Amino acid sequence: MNKDYSNKNFPVEYLIFQIENKENIDRFIELDHEIWTSFLSSFPGFISKEVWVNYDTPGEIHTILIWESMDHWKNIPLDKLKLKDKEFCEKFSYNFKMTRRIHKELNHGLHKVRHFELNNNL
């Protein structure tokens, strides 16, 4: 599957987290999906989310979210985001921190323009 998004310019939200104990990665990903992905995907403009684990840096998790537009992304009410953050922190009782926001480092200049995926029935 090859999709060309060059005329769409979908903004990318790219976050990196560090989990103190790598044994808790699966729980982090499970709760992230249960709390954050379900919440964010309920808003107009949410397109997709990927979660990557860096095995060369134990406990490092990358989340990449694709939005239809900056307006869609930035129109999510801050008070609701804070409530979801509180809920996540209460349910994930292990030490973790967000170490980077790549999209901010790049001044929101990162955009998805193409997607290629080999469909081999994984």
Q: Are 9 and 50 in contact (CB under 8 A)?
A: no
Q: How far apart are CA 88 and CA 37, in angstroms?
A: 11
pLDDT values of the chain reduced to their tens digit, one per residue, 122 residues? 666 666 678 899 999 999 999 999 999 999 999 999 999 999 999 999 999 999 999 999 999 999 999 999 999 999 999 999 999 999 999 999 999 999 888 888 888 877 777 776 65
**Are the C-beta atoms of 43 and 76 separated by less than 8 Å?**
yes
Within a domain: 64 = yes
Structural domain harbouring 80? 2-112
Query: What is this structure's pTM?
Result: 0.89
In a domain, 121, yes or no: no
Domain count, the chain: 1
Q: Three-state SS for 34?
A: helix
9 in a structural domain: yes
* 105 in a structural domain: yes
